Amino acid sequence: MSIAPGSHPHRNPALLKHAEERANSLQNRIADKITTFAGSMAFVYLHIVWFVVWIVFGTLIGFDSYPFGLLTMIVSLEAIFLSTFVMISQNRADTKRQVIADHQWLLVQEEDKQNCQLLELSQQILDLTKAVHQFTSAIPVPNPSSTPAAQGLPEGRH
């Protein structure tokens, strides 16, 4: 797989494709936004402010006094929904890990194929080298003492 120009070269192409597929679903986009917000410090600060305001005004105005039954019920329902979003997030992370594992498996298979091709080429080079060596070994090497120059004769006349 090649990475298209302009895309994120530092991100796994399989994950980029997975993110594009997730972005096509409205449910997935909503779940992603909720889990992103629920996992942020802004979410914590919002709840601190909400609880303080609720407790102060609930006590002063009297719409929800101690032990804050309505607040407890609302927070319990919120916890139920947030735990569901945590499970959705974990499922999404598992899916991403599976996408990466599948992509890596394809790369391993491609590398194995390339390694087999390299081994085959190496074997062909070895066979050619052996054939060249065998061919050159079969050619008789002239004895230096039997050459015309070694016998003192001019090379053009024998």
Backbone angle region of 63, left / alpha / beta, with phi > 0 → left and psi within -120 to 50 → alpha? alpha
Per cent of the chain over pLDDT 70 is 84
Task: Print the domain residue range for 52.
Answer: 13-102
Specify the pTM: 0.49
Instruction: Write down the pLDDT at residue 9.
Output: 55
Asked if residue 12 has pLDDT above 80, the reply is no
The C-alpha angle 55, 66, 45, rounded to 5 degrees, equals 25
Q: Is residue 17 part of a domain?
A: yes
- Number of domains into which the chain is organized: 1
Instruction: Write down the pLDDT at residue 72.
Output: 87
Choice between 97 and 64, residue whose per-residue pLDDT is larger: 97
Q: Is residue 96 part of a domain?
A: yes
**Mind listing the pLDDT tens digit for each residue in 31-86?**
888 888 888 999 999 999 998 888 888 888 877 777 888 888 999 999 998 888 88
